A and B are shown apart, each in its own frame.
Chain A
Amino acid sequence: MAWTLPTALFFSAIALVLLVLGVAQRHWPTVARRGFLPLATTRGDRFFISLLTAALIHLGWLAVTDLPVPGASALALFAGAVIMAKG
């Protein structure tokens, strides 16, 4: 599968978060709620939306600027935190 260290870390991180979310769901079940997003979301929904947003932020960054990519990552992390907390 042509693994590299960065992609391996990336997929492990996602797997880990999924595991944590699964365990959390067993012990502290989430209820769908309305935040600033125009639909009711659970914790898992918000995580998915954060991931998708992060991917789009990175693609947009790469498309329009030559600034270093970690800038996009910081922006994505911030957006993800906002969505997880308030979405």
Chain B
Amino acid sequence: MRTKPERQAAWLMVLPVVLVVAFSGVVPLMTVVNYSVQDILDVDTRFFVGFDWYRDALRDVRLHEALWRQLVFSFTALAIELPLGILVARCLPRQGRAASLLLVLCAIPLLVPLNVVGTIWQIFARGDIGMLGAAINGLGIDYNYTREPLHAWMTLVAMDVWHWTSLVVLLGFAGLSSIPPAYYQAADLDGAGRWQVFRHVELPHLRAVLLIAVLLRLMDSLMIYTEPFVLTGGGPGNTTTFLSQHLATIAVGQFDLGPAAAFSVIYFLLILLLCWLFHTLVVAGAERDDA
């Protein structure tokens, strides 16, 4: 592979993007940092308070609980979606009309507006009017996701799996399609079993897309807001209140600018750290593949 020529004038081509993203990303972020060190009563009455809001936020029990719930939820969802997505991707037919129909079907949940995802699962899972809820109650199990925290959790996870597993399926399918048939033939000649084919032929080819799948799913899952908001409203009690909803409650519900901003900065740093770690892994993996 030839190396790319160096040309500083390329900055001119990147400039529009930098300006747009600076306007919609950097300016707001700097504003958040400014808010986070002040007590803001109204636009003209502001006091510098240093790191007080950060200290409060970092020691806020409700934030710890929300963070803990968030991590449990994100890792549970990932632990189901990744293996399931790869399993389905392996089982999909590779070519033909059926393959493209199934792929379109898989893509549909990704294109449903986030609040409609919540609505769909609301009317699907309710005990009185929902197919799922009625069916479970019909089995003699007293299922009610608006009253039982455990049921609420299971419903949320089922919803997230419904919503996002397809992303892993599509990524995995694309990764599997890139494996030359010769690899499979060679494995057949060696008398490799299904598991060995998966382990030694498919998995190495899937590593790159899998890292991306983990990155995207983890990041998107950490910012989940709308779906639980519609489905459970964070309840029963606070048992399904995750980070973004906790933040939105402080920011828009109570309009506490300073504390909300301090929390935002902490939240952003957490995301930045994870994003950097995974990006480094992805880039390192890609460079090893090139070499």
Contacts and interface: CB of A to CB of B under 8 A. Distances in A.
- Within the complex, are A and B direct neighbours (CB within 8 Å)? yes
Which has the most chain A C-beta neighbours within 10 Å: B31, B55, B59?
Answer: B55
A39 B280 contact: yes
A63 B48 contact: no
Given A52-B272, A59-B54, A62-B55, A6 B30 contact: no
A60 B57 CA distance: 12
Interface in B143-168: none
B12 interface: no
Contacts, number: 50
Contacts of A55: 269
A81 interface: no
Q: Is the interface of B mostly helix, strand, loop or mixed?
A: helix
B120 interface: no
A10 B51 CA distance: 14
Nearest to B52: A62
Interface string B269-291: 10011001000100010000000
Contact of A6 (B31, B37, B46, B55): B37
A21 to B, nearest CB: 15
Task: Pick the 4 closest A-B CB pairs, nearest first.
Answer: A63-B58, A2-B34, A1-B31, A62-B55
27 contacts: A1-B31, A2-B35, A2-B38, A2-B40, A4-B38, A4-B46, A4-B48, A6-B48, A7-B30, A7-B34, A7-B37, A11-B30, A11-B33, A39-B280, A39-B284, A48-B276, A52-B272, A55-B269, A58-B51, A58-B54, A59-B54, A59-B58, A62-B51, A62-B55, A63-B59, A69-B50, A69-B51
Interface in B87-121: none
Contact of A7 (B33, B54, B58, B266): B33
B142 to A, nearest CB: 42
Interface of A: 1-4, 6-7, 10-11, 39, 48, 52, 55-56, 58-59, 62-63, 69
Contacts of A39: 280, 284
Contacts of B40: 2
Given A48-B276, A56-B273, A59-B266, 7 more contacts: A1-B27, A1-B31, A2-B34, A7-B37, A10-B33, A58-B54, A63-B55
A87 to B, nearest CB: 13
A15 to B, nearest CB: 11
Interface string B50-71: 1100110011000000000000
B31 A2 contact: yes
A7 B51 CA distance: 12
B262 to A, nearest CB: 10
Contact of B30 (A1, A59, A62): A1
Contacts of B27: 1
Contacts of A69: 50-51
A62 B48 CA distance: 17
A4 B269 contact: no
A51 B35 CA distance: 20
A40 B140 CA distance: 60
Contacts of A59: 54, 58, 266, 269
Contact of B34 (A4, A48, A56): A4
Nearest to A55: B269
B278 to A, nearest CB: 13
